[in-house]
Amino acid sequence: MERKLLLRIINFAYKTLARPEFIGTENIPASGGIILATNHMSFADVPMLMLTPGRPEITALAGDSYKKHLLFKIILNWADVIWIDREKADFSALSTARQHIQDGKALVIAPEGTRSKVGHLLEGKAGTALLAARAKCPIIPIGITGTEVAFKKLLSFRRPKLVVRYGKVFTLPPFTQEDRSQWLELCTEEIMCQIAALLPEQYRGFYKNHPRLKELIKTTGNQ
């Protein structure tokens, strides 16, 4: 009941206070375990992604630093997020996340490992690739824009435009223990470039000149 009520409140709040737009929702599988890998610039990101069409069971990995903010702690607890300690290798949280996916559910994770405070992509961490390999699941890249200035606009009585773009599902190559470090590096770059390809140029940050990103942009036609 708490979760259903929460989703109704979030939906009402975002549609009333902002101008949300979800693009590429046809790329979201109706069922099955999957990782939604997203950029992360604002406290507003995770609640908005809880509204992902067709996946009411969606939850997210959330850094336990959010517990310092009472409102977000309450919201995220109601949303059944999986709390993770970013300061260490939190194997318990990753095990819970893996089980969530293997139970056929959707999980949001930010491969950057933290919220970007500079308005563009930071270098990705290997955790998302490792989780995808262990859960043996596909990935949907997500590019979010507008949330980094959402609260500033609200304070000036303007409704921010918030856009979520869902890319096409992709899978990582099979994991091999022999070249673990190289595999993690290449797969993390693939995940981050897939996200970057969904974002306008000014948001691409660390990956703006990456060769793989340029290949993806040619394929998708996104400039």
Q: What is the DSSP letter of 205?
A: G
Task: Name the nearest CA neighbour of 206 among 123, 101, 87.
Answer: 123
Cβ-proximal residues to 107 (8 Å cutoff; 6+ apart), any chain: 33, 34, 35, 36, 58, 59, 60, 61, 82, 97, 100, 101
Count CB neighbours of 126 within 10 A.
Answer: 17
Rounded-to-integer distance, Cα 206 and Cα 27, Å: 26
Starting at the earlier edge strand, list the strands of the sheet with 161-166.
19-23, 161-166, 139-145, 34-38, 106-109, 59-63, 82-84
Cβ-proximal residues to 65 (8 Å cutoff; 6+ apart), any chain: 86
Extract the residue ranges of the chain whose pLDDT is less than 50.
Answer: none
Q: In the prediction, which pLDDT does 69 show?
A: 79
Cα-flanking dihedrals φ and ψ of residue 166, to 5°?
A: -100, 125
Cβ-proximal residues to 46 (8 Å cutoff; 6+ apart), any chain: 60, 62, 76, 79, 81, 108
pTM for the predicted model, two decimal places:
0.93
Q: In the prediction, which pLDDT does 68 show?
A: 79
Q: In the prediction, which pLDDT does 111 show?
A: 96
Cα-flanking dihedrals φ and ψ of residue 86, to 5°?
A: -75, -10
**Structure token digits, residue 195:** 């996200």
Q: In the prediction, which pLDDT does 223 show?
A: 59
